[in-house]
Amino acid sequence: MKVLVIGLGGVTNGGKTTLAEKLMNILPNCAIISQDDFFKPESEVETDERGFKLYDVLDALYMDEMVTSIRNWMKNPASSGVVTEEPQNTCDNLKNVYILIVEGFLLYNYEPLNELWNRRYFLTLPYEECKRRRSTRVYQPADTPGYFDGHVWPMYLKYKNELEENASMQVDYLDGTKSQEELLSYVYSDIIQELNKLRE
């Protein structure tokens, strides 16, 4: 049995969840773990001097629990309960390969996660497009006025810069303004190549 752990990180509203779900529908034995499921309750998230809840930082998440969930899946993917039905076109030689897609906005800045990835993708958006998309979404708790410019975007740039400065980190940057079909096609064929390497 072989496992493939795929990171799908990047900017808020970049299309990570949509892409992860589309991939899950066409890849064999594929499951998703979402970083959003590991947010601490609002009462445990720090507030800065401007009154902004600091959600876009690692401290707002139970990262150790997330690592544990991924490791547990890797140990026994078949019994994780999150394995989907195999697509009909799956070749026999992929029957014993399990794929986990981990999607979230802060995947590659936490050292214990970095030893787990087989492939890393990072979705980017220009500022204006990201702000426009973010304004159409409803969050719990809701974004307060100035939150995007005061916290969300600066934190995205900070973590993205950290990533780009880390020369040892192999990351495939994806343009989130491209169509969902284009992104899906690119990542899907890349993962299939990775699966073929595993089989060799």
Of 36, 48, 64, 149, catalytic: 36
Q: At what angle do helices 127-135 and 153-165 cross, to 10 degrees?
A: 140
- Residue 149 a catalytic site member: no
Chain centre distance of CA 157: 17
Residue 6 φ then ψ, to 5°: -110, 125
Amino acid at 101: I
Distance of CA 63 to the CA centre of its chain: 13
Q: Is residue 53 helix, strand or coil?
A: strand
Q: Going along 35-127, which residue ranges are E strands? A: 97-103, 119-124
Beta strand spans in 104-164 (E)? 119-124
**So which residues are the catalytic ones?**
36
